[in-house]
Structure 1
């Protein structure tokens, strides 16, 4: 069955479920009556596959195999307080890459870097003194990874959501194209520097410090809620309450939408997972500068969140 036919079959079942719930009819009977997708003529031109409804929907597809089609990687750092008279620090910020690997290239590597780890260090040892919890969903297909994209607000991966819910802050990393942003051409001409970071999420203080740090590091960053740009950035502002970046203990967080040109510039060679893992530290310092700008912003936000 093609992805399109699978999508049509899923819609048929969901329609039957909805109708049964409304009419009070037995669900099993309606599902039995639901006909499978009809065979299509060989010369039929199919539309792009409908995006998966959720991570659960994607994980249940028999033609997608974890470890071959996609992967999930995460790290939750063990911390504990065994002394009755003292208090200890706790993980306050998590980094997410919900569309990593080949879906939105560069976000996996940047997730690891901001969390304090090397994208090329298979041992998993941290390379920076401060580390953060992280979660990544990564497309592993040789091509067509876009088909594995699940819209952030539809993410229902249990580890991703529990990671977000157990932290005060989340920084979620995403990719976009420059043309999608439709920024004012007077400021951002199509023939100019197309490397731009759009900062969204419901945590205004987090957004503000991210914009400042990223700009100070020599990159271009705009606040998705800035009146100068907000008219065209609604799709990229991370405002949905079900977006994992906002499903934190504070019900708000931050996300970065990074243009293709910006993500590519963080690596000497960006064309494959192996190339990115091997050249992130050979990009004239751009990867490290962007990583460290995000880490400084996190440190600033956390400094205003004392241990209670």
Structure 2
């Protein structure tokens, strides 16, 4: 099988700063940034660097895992800081993709550097993950081995096909410059959800409808991840 090119080889923009500087792009028309910074700061920050129409479903997951209902923004439990970059176009959102190792958004860096733990949320195709075409799976990566193990355990207990991606050449999230690994501990975790898994989390799939159409698969996933975050924080504080 011919190897798939890495996203960094396909990106139009080498960094977020370069994207923001492009006069052809208009914030809140082509893209937007959303975030929540609590006072005091939370131990964990949740990230969706390719939300909206870039890697669909990751914006809604980011909000819910951070503790907010994606449709109403009403708190649903313990809250975490979050940051997301979203493509808002009706088509060609993939040109807005900036690979996580090149993310230099000032606020994203501030949030992550001030946190002990970070979780990056991404979407991938089964082909890129080396899986069958219809695989509903999540690859669990990142440099925080303990966090990765807790995510794998909780997701598997919830019935998800969770795969340790630490050694995956492209989706392992092991790069030191990956935004999720720029925490105070220089380690984080990353989830790469396949397209079929993300599709199974919603009953409607347009950008405007997804946040109001989450189903049991979505919430089972969210609960498993939030439980893993709580466990990681508890171990660090013990």
Q: Secondary structure at the match of 2:237?
A: coil
CA distance in 2, matches of 1:132, 1:235: 27
Q: Describe the superposition over 1:171-226 as per-residue Cα deviations: whole angstroms up to 9, x where unpaired.
A: 0000100011114xxxxxx36x511100010001100110111111111101113x
TM-score, normalised on structure 1? 0.72
Q: Secondary structure at the match of 2:128?
A: helix
Q: Secondary structure at the match of 1:261?
A: helix
2:51–2:58 Cα contact (<8 Å) kept: yes
The alpha carbon displacement at 1:155 in A equals 0.5
Q: Match for residue 250 of structure 1?
A: 185
Q: Secondary structure at the match of 2:135?
A: coil
The alpha carbon displacement at 1:129 in A equals 2.3
2:51 aligned with 1:100: yes
2:218 aligned with 1:287: yes
The alpha carbon displacement at 1:125 in A equals 3.1
The alpha carbon displacement at 1:78 in A equals 1.4
Q: Match for residue 4 of structure 2?
A: none
Runs of at least 4 residues off by over 6 Å: none
Q: Secondary structure at the match of 2:127?
A: helix
2:140–2:172 Cα contact (<8 Å) kept: yes
Select the structure that is richer in strand.
2
- Segments of 5+ residues of structure 2 without an aligned counterpart are 1-8
Q: Match for residue 140 of structure 1?
A: 88
Q: Secondary structure at the match of 1:304?
A: helix
Which of 44, 62, 69 lines up with 2:23 in the alignment? 62
Q: Describe the superposition over 1:242-294 as per-residue Cα deviations: whole angstroms up to 9, x where unpaired.
A: 10110001000000011001111111112x111201101xx2x1111000000
Q: 1:209 to 1:117 in 2, by over 3 A?
A: same
TM-score, normalised on structure 2? 0.93
Matched residue count: 230
Q: Which moved more, 1:50-59 or 1:106-115?
A: 50-59
Q: Match for residue 273 of structure 1?
A: 207
2:157 aligned with 1:216: yes
CA distance in 1, matches of 2:153, 2:10: 39
- Segments of 5+ residues of structure 1 without an aligned counterpart are 1-47, 80-89, 184-189
Q: Match for residue 97 of structure 2?
A: 149
CA distance in 2, matches of 1:49, 1:249: 30
Task: Mark the structure with the bigger radius of gyration.
Answer: 1
Q: Secondary structure at the match of 2:236?
A: coil
Which of 195, 198, 208 lines up with 1:263 in the alignment? 198
Q: Match for residue 179 of structure 1?
A: 127
CA distance in 2, matches of 1:105, 1:50: 17
2:11–2:98 Cα contact (<8 Å) kept: no
2:120–2:180 Cα contact (<8 Å) kept: yes
